[in-house]
Structure formats: structure tokens, C-alpha cells
Amino acid sequence: MSLFDTLSVSASGMSAQRYRTELLAQNIANSETTRTPEGGPYRRQDAVFETSEVLQPFGNVFAQALNPTTPGVKVSEVLLDAKDPIKRYLPGHPDADKDGYVAFPNFSPVEEMVDLMAASRTFNANVTAAGTVKDMISRSIDLLRS
Amino acid sequence: MDVKLGSQMEQYMNLLAARQKLVASNIANAETPGYHAKDIDFQFEFQSLAATYGPEAKPHVIEAPGLKERNDGNNVSMDREMRLLSENALRFQFVSQLMKNQFQQYRRAIQSPR
């Protein structure tokens, strides 16, 4: 039934937004991190979304191939921020260079909070869609119960 | 109360389910760069389906017209999708109630001799 596929579409949107929220929380948590395994300060990460098919079982994929598709969404890549780190003069810091400057992540709290809010709103929109579809499904099941 | 009405209600519900799927897809892709909102021409599809006795709705998916594209090439309007979401749900509710009543009438007709 097509309505159940709709639930997976909404679920794909929810998981994509949740992943983005995780990245944003990671950015905020690492706003002062000067050491990373790759060397240098932490760089901001952001998710890039891409449309994708939500269905895995063969029957569904087959049906989808016959029928024009309705895509879900997935995170296609995680972008590393290319902005230069901010230098702060902290001569006592263990990561200071020879002039006494420490490279800190180029962190903008406003940017993170705005993105976080957008992610949360979009997540909620997907939840609403899933709830509405669930209501439609239960109404169809109700037909059997008259 | 005839078979044709029943099949038309079924097609209407199938079409609503298909449209709801597109709406959910548009909402899921509200922040996908380059994504364009999809829709079906509901009136047209329903009329062409009602004319034929198709087993299942296979509507033509079109791009929703008249939406403004943002800088990232995405043109999903959340307000529009939310309106369609509740509109489809209400229409579905309406038709399923109608169908339920029809079943009840059948049942009453079957049970009447008792």
C-alpha cells in the first residue's frame, strides 16, 4: 500500500534532519577545540542533502521501477568548512605557535543556532506529515471495523 | 449504491494516497539543493481515472507550478505543503467515512430479514 511508503519517505526526512542536528551539536561542542586527529583546530561540518529512494525490499524496488518515483532524502556528504581558523593571542597555550597565536575554529554561534532551528522545524514538519499519514492509514483500517 | 461508486471512491482514495506521498516527499526534501516540488493535477487525474476502470491509480507526476525558487535551486513552499497535507487528510477522512456508511448500508440490507 502506497501509504506505508509515504511513512518511509517521512522517516527518511526525519533521520536526515536528525543527522544534521547531530553535526550542529558537534560543531557547538567543539567551538573551542584546537586539537583534532587531522591536526589543526576543529572545522565546522555541515550536511548536504540529496534525494534518494527509500525502499529496499525487492518487490518495492520493482514496483518503483515500473512507476515514476517519489524520492525520500538522505545525507549525501558532510562538508568541511573551508573558512580559515581564527587566531587568538594566547602565549601560554600549549598549542600556541612561535608568535604566541593559537588557531581556534571559525565558530559563529548565530549560524549554528539558526541552522539548528531550521533543522528542528523541518524535523517537526516531517513528524506532522507522518502523523497525518498514520491517521489516514488507521482510517482505512477502520473501514474493516464498521 | 452501486459498484461504480465504490470503485470511484477507491480510486479517489488511491489518488489521495499518491498525492500525500508526493507531499511527504516534498516536505522531506524541503532543504535538498536543486529539488523541485512535485504534485499531481488532481482534477484531471481523477476524471481520467474515473472514465476508465483502472485497477490502480498511476497518476502523472508534474512539477508544482508557480513556486518561487530559492538560491539553492529548491522551490518547496512549506506553507503550501502543509495546506495540502491537511487538505488530503480531510478529503481522505471524508471519503473513508462515506465508504464506511456504504458498507453499513450493505450490511443492513443483508441482515434485514432477521
- A98-146 tens-digit pLDDT: 899 999 998 899 999 999 999 999 999 999 999 999 999 999 998 888 6
Tell me the pLDDT tens digit for each residue of B20-69. Answer: 999 999 999 999 999 999 999 888 888 887 776 655 657 888 888 889 99
Residues of A in contact with B38 (CB under 8 A): 70
CB contact under 8 A, A143 and B85: no
Return the number of CB contacts < 8 Å for A and B: 104
Distance between CA atoms of residues B69 and B75, nearest Å: 4
CB contact under 8 A, B25 and A125: no
Q: Which residues in chain A belong to E strands, given as ranges?
A: 45-52, 72-80, 86-89, 101-104
Distance between CA atoms of residues A2 and A144, nearest Å: 18
Amino acid at B28: A
Q: What is the ipTM of this complex?
A: 0.83
Residue B96 has pLDDT above 90, yes or no: yes
CB–CB of A93/A111 below 8 Å? no
Q: What share of chain B is helix, strand, coil (3-state, %, to 5)?
A: 60, 5, 35
What three-state secondary structure class fits A49? Answer: strand
Residue A5 has pLDDT above 90, yes or no: no
pLDDT at B61: 85
Q: Dihedral of CA A125/A130/A135/A136: which sign?
A: positive
pLDDT at A27: 93
pLDDT at A129: 94
Of A5, A139, A142, A144, which to mutate for an interface test with B (greatest number of B Cβ within 10 Å)?
A139
CB–CB of B63/B39 below 8 Å? yes
Residues of B in contact with A129 (CB under 8 A): 23-24, 27-28, 85
Residue A46 has pLDDT above 80, yes or no: yes
Residue B1 has which C-alpha cell?
449504491
At residue A38 the predicted structure's pLDDT band, cuts being 50, 70 and 90, is: confident
For chain B, what percent of residues have pLDDT higher than 70? 92
